[in-house]
A and B are shown apart, each in its own frame.
Chain A
Amino acid sequence: MGEMPDADGVGTVGNPVCGDLMNIYIKVEDNKIADIKFKTFGCGAAIATSSMITELAKGKTLEEALKITRGNVAESLGGLPPIKMHCSNLAADGLHAAIEDYLKRKEAEK
């Protein structure tokens, strides 16, 4: 957990008004997620899913990481209460947003 000042991609999802805001930072090497960190404002489930996504995504190729779903995250945590499924289970979206950010930055470099 924590910030990554030299991240290659950053994904921000959620909204503090709703009670959940998540930043996912990734470092990419050889098309793989070499490092991943998060910062999260939110309930226990939001923090747990943030932490789980870093475990699930680390070392994966970008293609594999993009296939990680909200369902995978919840499943890896041993399930989430229904009410938390859509409000706090933002981590997969955050990861995807970070990868998109990375791809966009790479595109811009060309």
Chain B
Amino acid sequence: MDHTAGMPVDERVLEAMMPYFTQNIGNVSSAHFFGNEARRAIDEARSKVAELIGAEKKEEIVFTSGGTESNNLAIKGVANRNKDKGNHIITSSIEHMSVVNTCKHLGKHGFKITSLPVDKYGIVDIEALKKEITDKTILVSTMYANGEIGTIEPIKEIGEIAHSKGAFLHVDAVAAAGQVPIDVQDENIDLLSLSSNDMYGPRGIGALYKKTGTRILPIIHGGGQERGLRSGTENLSGIVGMGKAAEIAKANMAAEAERLSRLRDKFIKGVVDKIPESYLNGHPTKRLPSNVNVRFSYIEGESLILSLDMEGVACSSGSACTSKTLEPSHVLLAIGLAHEDAHGSLLFTLGRQNTEEDIKYVLGLLPSIVKRLRAISPLTPKELVT
């Protein structure tokens, strides 16, 4: 139940990709029939990705190496191309590190970065956005949904405010795409980052949607592939795989979202009902169908993870001890959690393979694990240890 950390490639995706490793290995730039076949396959994949997010034209999709590159291309691309308008970029305090650190980098190179606060559910503060945005603002970058706490943002409204000052809206949709319907045209989105692996496609491939007329500069220069926005020989099998993954995600979305939401709500209710002083992190309803993030007072996340691991359950935590840095998750701190509460958070991300049985299994294990760890924690109040 740790799908966000890495998803298995769908077998149908793998099957679609296979011929492009061994047989159809043409280079798009070649004039012969191998090249033609490569071009056709890429066009088809581009259309499928465009359809997933409601893009007007397939040419608005630029393939990249993944979500991180897409975020870099969108943010640095807008920053470098729109210096004539201004140097102000607005982002939020719960973004992925590829947005956080790209903005931090630009902050050291003449750009002014504003990071918007979020409320206790992780919803971006719209009033703060209205107050901070100026005519010098060139970009607003917020995520569609947060992969850690699952909260879905009011993108359309954020886009309206960005456009009212002539700023572009970039949306990191890596956690959301394929799970919830996205309509870039209706939701005022100018740039949107996607990752293949987060929708059961292969790793090492992603895409950036760039609405026609959005002014950006490339960050990778070379042979001018992807309409000059992303040089480098196309990752043919990866692109085909991502196209197939997008097609499957779109076809299954409604049914799978309903199924996962039901499992999710059952899971959350089970935890909160069965375990005293356990709480949901993130929004109760504006939430990704796959996301369960709960916290348990007085205990630490990694010890929970290890205990669950011994019972064959994989999950993540907001704990410092599971990350490379020693700080707890910036997202959990941004929604106002104390350090020790952030340390005690557990993240489950459900996926296609998870069933009702899995939920029952975990709900059967968790209360006794929490109880045991609380019994040896010096923070636990006496009345909780019986």
Q: Is B a genuine binding partner of A?
A: yes
In the complex, the chain A residue whose C-beta lies closest to that of B377 is A41
Q: Does B7 lie at the interface of the complex (its beta carbon under 8 Å from any beta carbon of A)? A: no
A64 to B310, CA, bound (A): 35
In the complex, the chain B residue whose C-beta lies closest to that of A44 is B306
Q: Does A49 lie at the interface of the complex (its beta carbon under 8 Å from any beta carbon of B)? A: no
Would B303 and A43 count as touching, CB distance under 8 A?
yes
How does the 8 Å CB contact mask read for A52-95 relative to B, with 1 for contact and 0 for none? 00000000000000000000000000000001100110000000
The interface size of chain B toward A, counting residues with CB under 8 Å, comes to 23
Of the candidates B322, B328, B338, B379, which one forms a contact with A41 in the assembled complex, judged by CB atoms under 8 Å apart? B379
- Residues in chain B near residue A12, CB distance under 8 A: 378
Q: Which of B254-313 touch A at CB < 8 Å?
A: 298-303, 306
A1 to B303, CA, bound (A): 15
- Residues in chain A near residue B302, CB distance under 8 A: 43-44
In the complex, the chain B residue whose C-beta lies closest to that of A40 is B376
| CB contact under 8 A between A39 and B339, given known A83-B324, A83-B326 | no
Q: Does A36 lie at the interface of the complex (its beta carbon under 8 Å from any beta carbon of B)? A: no
Interface centre among A1, A40, A87 (most CB of B within 10 A): A40
A15 to B375, CA, bound (A): 18
- Residues in chain B near residue A23, CB distance under 8 A: 378
Would A19 and B300 count as touching, CB distance under 8 A?
yes
How does the 8 Å CB contact mask read for A1-21 relative to B, with 1 for contact and 0 for none? 110000000001000111111
Would A44 and B303 count as touching, CB distance under 8 A?
yes
In the complex, the chain A residue whose C-beta lies closest to that of B343 is A19
Would A18 and B378 count as touching, CB distance under 8 A?
no
In the complex, the chain A residue whose C-beta lies closest to that of B326 is A87
Would A16 and B339 count as touching, CB distance under 8 A?
yes
- Residues in chain A near residue B378, CB distance under 8 A: 12, 21-23, 39-41
Would B379 and A16 count as touching, CB distance under 8 A?
yes
Q: Contact residue range for chain A?
A: 20 to 34
A18 to B301, CA, bound (A): 12
In the complex, the chain B residue whose C-beta lies closest to that of A21 is B378
| CB contact under 8 A between A21 and B319, given known A16-B340, A43-B302 | no
Of the candidates B303, B306, B326, which one forms a contact with A18 in the assembled complex, judged by CB atoms under 8 Å apart? B326
Of the candidates A16, A39, A43, which one forms a contact with B321 in the assembled complex, judged by CB atoms under 8 Å apart? A43
- Residues in chain B near residue A88, CB distance under 8 A: 321
Q: Does A28 lie at the interface of the complex (its beta carbon under 8 Å from any beta carbon of B)? A: no
A42 to B326, CA, bound (A): 13
Q: Does A98 lie at the interface of the complex (its beta carbon under 8 Å from any beta carbon of B)? A: no
- Residues in chain A near residue B376, CB distance under 8 A: 1-2, 38-40, 47
Would B319 and A19 count as touching, CB distance under 8 A?
yes
- Residues in chain B near residue A84, CB distance under 8 A: 321
In the complex, the chain A residue whose C-beta lies closest to that of B302 is A43
Q: Which of B316-350 touch A at CB < 8 Å?
A: 319-322, 324, 326, 328, 338-340, 343
In the complex, the chain B residue whose C-beta lies closest to that of A39 is B378
A38 to B378, CA, bound (A): 9
- Residues in chain B near residue A18, CB distance under 8 A: 320, 326, 339
A22 to B322, CA, bound (A): 19
B332 → A minimal CB distance (Å): 12
Show 26 A/B contacts (Cβ-Cβ < 8 Å), sorted by A: A1-B376, A17-B338, A17-B340, A19-B300, A19-B321, A19-B340, A19-B343, A20-B300, A21-B378, A22-B378, A23-B378, A38-B376, A39-B377, A41-B299, A41-B378, A42-B300, A42-B303, A42-B321, A43-B301, A43-B322, A44-B303, A44-B306, A46-B303, A84-B321, A87-B321, A87-B326
Q: Which 8 A-B pairs have the closest CB atoms?
A: A43-B321, A43-B302, A16-B340, A39-B378, A17-B339, A41-B377, A44-B306, A19-B343
Told that A16-B343, A19-B300, A43-B301 touch, could you supply 9 new A-B pairs with CB distance under 8 A? Answer: A2-B376, A17-B339, A17-B340, A23-B378, A39-B377, A39-B378, A40-B378, A41-B298, A87-B320
